[in-house]
Amino acid sequence: MERTFHKQEINMTEALMNRINELIGHYPEENRKSALIPVLHEVQDAHQNWLSIELMDKVAEILHIKPVEVYEVASFYTMFNLKPIGKYMFEFCQTSPCCLNGVENLMDYTCEKLGVKVGETTPDGLFEVRGVECLGACGYAPMMQLGDFYKEHLNEQKIDQIIEDAKAGKIILHDK
């Protein structure tokens, strides 16, 4: 894995540790490693939505596994980000049923509006646009994932509104 030089401040709060211990309790003690993916979600959510090497090392320590066991999992699953990303990540589903309902044009519109290309973050760090594969909302296309939630039946007006709400801090990203 490529080593990044982005700094991340690690803050394992009491609430986060309580949740991690609750998740670990869902598996037999000898299978503590099973909690890895749910735990990575929790620590990522609590750390600006990305995982530094240091943070992954911390998770390895908590789960009593080797750091490489965390890296190999974090790099396999697309929901884990190994470098900093935009705070509001617009993850558009770009698989065929969404394309039939115009998601490609809508992505173009969103990128133009934000002045970024797909995969880029706006200079203020607020927004990023990504194309992802099927999110399981084909009947409610076009749609995107934003944090823990889906935004469905999208159109240009709704995108404008979401951007406005995000700038005003009115969007809830995580369901805690």
Partner 1 sequence: MSQKILLDKINIPGIKTYEVYRQNGGYASVEKALKTLTPDEVVEEVKTSGLRGRGGAGFPAGMKWSFIDKKSGKPRHLVCNADESEPGTFKDRFLMEYIPHLLIEGMITSSYALGANRSYIYIRGEYMWVFKILERAIAEAKAAGWLGKNILGTGYDLELYVHCGAGAYICGEETALIESLEGKRGNPRIKPPFPAVSGLWANPTVVNNVETISAVPWIVNNSGADYAKIGEGRSTGTKLISASGHIKNPGVYEIELGLSVYEFMNSDEYLGGMSSDRPLKAFVPGGSSVPILPANLIYKTANGDDRLMTYESLSDGGFATGSMLGSGGFIVYDDTACIVRNTWNFSRFYHHESCGQCTPCREGTGWLEKVLHRIENGHGREEDIELLLSIQSKIEGNTICPLGDAASWPVAAAIRHFREEFEYHIRFPEKIKHRDHFVNEPFEKVRHLVAKQTV
Which residues of the chain form contacts with partner 1 (CB under 8 A)?
26-28, 31, 33-38, 40-41, 63, 65, 69, 72-73, 76-80, 94-97, 99-100, 104, 132-141, 145, 148-150, 175
Q: What is the dihedral of CA 15, 21, 26, 30, to 10 degrees?
A: 170
> Are the C-beta atoms of 67 and 75 separated by less than 8 Å?
no
- Label residues 67-103 b or e (16+ Cβ within 10 Å = b): eeebbebbeeeeebebebbbbbbbbbbbbebbeebeb
Q: Rounded to whole angstroms, how far apart are CA atoms 74 and 175?
A: 22
Tell me the closest approach of the beta carbon of residue 73 to partner 1, in angstroms: 6
145's tokens:
């994932």
Tell me the closest approach of the beta carbon of residue 125 to partner 1, in angstroms: 22
Tell me the closest approach of the beta carbon of residue 162 to partner 1, in angstroms: 16
Tell me the closest approach of the beta carbon of residue 32 to partner 1, in angstroms: 8
Which residue number, 153 or 167, has a Cβ lying nearer to partner 1?
153
Which residue number, 130 or 166, has a Cβ lying nearer to partner 1?
130
Which residue number, 38 or 67, has a Cβ lying nearer to partner 1?
38
Which residue number, 67 or 122, has a Cβ lying nearer to partner 1?
67
Which residue number, 5 or 76, has a Cβ lying nearer to partner 1?
76
Tell me the closest approach of the beta carbon of residue 172 to partner 1, in angstroms: 11
